[in-house]
Structure 1
Amino acid sequence: MSGTVVYAMVNQMVTEPQKFKGKIVNMSGVFSSYYDNETNQRYFGCVISDALACCSQGLAFELKKPHKYPQEYPDEGTEITIRGIFDIRTEEDGVGFPVIRDAEMFR
């Protein structure tokens, strides 16, 4: 798929996650992480840019096997590929977001 089509597909996954729940996702992009001080949790993501690199969109992922951060993760901005099952993670406050579960990460 072209960069534009991939970007559009990820955008649709974020805006209409129910359509993709349970499907296997294979996605290439750059590694990103975020630490939420309120929940004391680190979130990991695979981020892609559109064809002009002016906009970006990403999906969170949870690895199948536990890894230690930062020792067993790539540097921020490293190209990665994620393969896992698309799901929706619901937080305690009822807010949900798309996530690739049982993911494998390749560099």
Structure 2
Amino acid sequence: MKSDYQKCLNKGQNMRNCAFEYYNKSDSLLNVSYKNLKAKMSSKEQSKLKKEQLEWLKKRDQFFQKVYSDTKKEGNFIEGTQDFEMIIYDEQAKFVFGRVKELINKG
């Protein structure tokens, strides 16, 4: 996925869409990883995983807000532009892929 993302970015066109697609793939992979892990667990372990995931979702939301705010403060990109959104989606995808790796390692 990462190499496809880089190839898309290297074209230098519609880079926002490249980043958006990369983020969507990270989110889909997160859902699949979570469901696969959950399916292997006892109900007690599933309950623990669900609680952990809810905590992670809170951290994700905070991180996403921080990325938006920090990117806006840096002033390198104008809010609402495709470049601005590309940076946001890229950072969000990296964060989500981190959680995917954690879930895979638990399995």
TM-score after normalising by structure 1: 0.25
The structure whose Rg is larger is 2
RCO higher in structure (CA 8 A, sep ≥6): 2
